[in-house]
Structure 1
Amino acid sequence: MRYLPNASRLIYGCMGLGGGWNRDAIGPEHVHQARACVDAALESGINLFDHADIYAQGKAEQVFGEVLKQCPGLRENIYLQSKSGIRFADDAGPKRYDLSKGWILQSVDGILQRLGTEYLDLLMLHRPDPLMAPEAIAEAFELLLESGKVRNFGVSNMHAHQMQLLVGSLGRPLVANQLELSLHHRQWLEEGVFAGHPDARRVGFSPGTLDYCRTQGVQLQAWGSLCRGLYSGSVTPEHPLSVRRTAALVMDLALQYQVSKEAVVLAWLMRHPAQIQPIIGTTDLERIRACAVAPSVELGRAQWYSLYVAARGEELP
């Protein structure tokens, strides 16, 4: 990644830290779990950690901040990113998106306080807000940059046209876009395969987003990259035939490469020339380690297509 030159190819997603999505206080067990996960990630070569202000209603950041307190010097050896823009229902209104200047600034102050750090390496706008005003977002970004609170800016779940709209006012590039990309969630691939094909009507992914990010030097990050364990966990006869066949192929390749099934699923995503950066969100320490070898797995073109076609459940057009 050009904006974080020494960042790991995998990202550790912290959404599972801090306990439930409620107002209960964090306890020693939550801090212990977070410390164990961070240690496992670091031992596996992962040094970029992904947060959002809403994860566990702020407790994911809070518990991570406790880990930083326990580990003097750790902050200088890792990268931290977080997201702003989703607000839960409250007395003022329902669950909503808020990319107003005031909320972005308030949210970042809360993020930094919970994490116990003076700056974020990257702030991402979590979801597109239909009411977002690019000029106001630009003002917020400029204040955050001048104050040293944020060093880079990106987006999450936005398509190319929304990014272009923002960049037109920002006067600086957006360096990353975090999207749901995986072997199971494949519409980002299907849009290209179905170019000029009648079946394109089945594809809901926004055309051109990946190409825009590639041409503009925007790092693609993938949430949901492990397909929620669909191909690396237990498969039952109740699963669709395409899932069972894909899981069997993942197992065969894992045996062939002498790696975990998780590593194969991630390696498939990382084989794409867009240099996609997967986010892993498991709190299972062995699974964190199992994922870590993915960058060393180089699938051949035929193997990549075999997984793709198996997951599709039908041959290519």
Structure 2
Amino acid sequence: MKSIELGTSNLNTSAISLGCMRMSGLTKAEAQHVIHNALDLGVNLFDHADIYGRGLSEQIFADAIDMSPTIREEIILQSKCGIRKGQFDFSKQHIINSVEGSLKRLKTDYLDILLLHRPDTLVEPEEVAEAFAELKAAGKVKHFGVSNQNPGQIELLKKYLEEDLIINQLQFSLMHTPMIDAGFNVNMAHDKAIVRDNGILEYCRLNNMTIQAWSPFQFGMMEGVFIGHKEFPELNQKLQELAAKYEVTDSAIAIAWILRHPAKIQPVVGTMNQQRLADIAKATEIKLTREEWYDLYLAAGNKLP
């Protein structure tokens, strides 16, 4: 599988990462098959969060991979923190406690990457800076990033941080494209022209932050998968046409569409189905033409001005 470099770090990782949210529903044996299949395909970044399965996803992952120093060197572990029941929490103590919990469940001494999961409007950026500094000095976290944040929120943190923020994880798929829609419709008087994220795509490119695309097959806010969905016949017809041309699945084409963007976006794929992941991995060998990329964008129900 092709690799990419994450942000301003020296981390070289697979172009596609595996999201482990659903791992909490697997047995140890099932998880072993999923993880080793991913590694065989060249996927080496595993995305976690302290809330996935209330921590069970991290625990099952560590048990399934039989975490050891040798295995640990072969993988990149990423986890997220900041979501609590009924609130978001970027306090120093919560960040540190969350990392300690993840390290214990993952049976490792360090995380390669820690992301702040969702913006906390009560954030005290000085506390975040203190937490990050302590975690890095202790060798417990090597790199940091954010998730679902806009440029202003990131800049507020950066004012106090000594560490680079190398990742911003954002929802992005063929059926969820607000971060590119506004760029096509500058100064137009309709809904697609609304800038909903303060130009986060361009901001991340200017600041060498890798965008990770979560829910790359979803439409709406986790309303369902658009692949094969009866409400999107034009898009699915185009996906099937290109799948036939490139001799891959329609899911691979949907991921190839994301990978085609020059921002070098890294999709976070959450499937626990080994064959589906193998099919999706073929997307890294495809480079859609400019015409094919735009055809898919239009087939998804978008219009160009």
Contact 1:68 1:116 in 2 (8 A): no
Give the structure-2-normalised TM-score.
0.93
Unmatched runs of 5 consecutive residues or more in structure 1: 20-28, 89-94
Secondary structure at the residue paired with 1:155?
strand
1:246-292 alpha-carbon deviations (Å, 9 max, x no partner): 00100000000011111100000111111100010011111110111
Partner of 2:218: 227
What is the TM-score of this pair, normalised by structure 1? Answer: 0.89
Contact 1:231–1:250, Cα closer than 8 Å, also in 2: no
- Cross-structure match for 2:206: 215
Which residue identity does 1:315 align to in structure 2?
Answer: K
Cα distance between partner residues in 2 of 1:107 and 1:72: 22
Alpha-carbon separation, structure 2, partners of 1:211 and 1:96: 29
Greater CA drift, 110-119 or 200-209: 200-209
1:10–1:279 contact (8 Å) kept in structure 2: yes
Give, in whole Å, the separation in 2 of the partners of 1:231 and 1:108: 34
Which runs of 5 or more structure 2 residues have no equivalent in the other structure? none
Task: Report the equivalent of 1:295.
Answer: 284
Question: Match for residue 233 of structure 2?
Answer: 244
Q: Distance in 1 between matches of 2:101 and 2:48?
A: 12
C-alpha change, 1:142 and 1:183, in structure 2 (3 Å) is same
Q: Which has the larger displacement, 190-199 or 117-126?
A: 190-199
**Displacement after TM superposition at 1:314 (Å):** 4.7
- Report which stretch shifted further, 56-65 or 206-215: 206-215
Select which of 13, 17, 20 maps to 1:14: 20
Provide the C-alpha distance between the structure 2 equivalents of 1:104 and 1:68, rounded to a whole number of angstroms: 26
Indicate the percent of aligned positions where both proteins have the same amino acid. 41
Matched, 1:86 2:83: yes
The more displaced of 35-44 and 121-130 is: 35-44
- AA at the equivalent of 1:73: T
Supply the distance in 1 between the matched residues of 2:21 and 2:194 (Cα, whole angstroms): 28
Name whichever of 144-153 and 62-71 sits farther off. 62-71
User: How far apart in 1 are the matches of 2:128 and 2:111?
Assistant: 17
Which is worse superposed, 203-212 or 123-132? Answer: 203-212
Residue deviations 1:161-186 (CA, integer Å, cap 9, x gap): 10011001002210000000110101
Say whether the 8 Å CA contact 1:181–1:222 is kept in structure 2. Answer: yes
The equivalences for 1:48-63 within 5 A come to: 48-63=45-60
SS at match of 2:205: helix
Give the superposition deviation at 1:202. Answer: 6.3
Return the match for 1:163 from 151, 154, 164. 154
SS in 2 for 1:53: coil
- More strand by percentage: 2
Alignment-derived partner of residue 41 in structure 2: 44
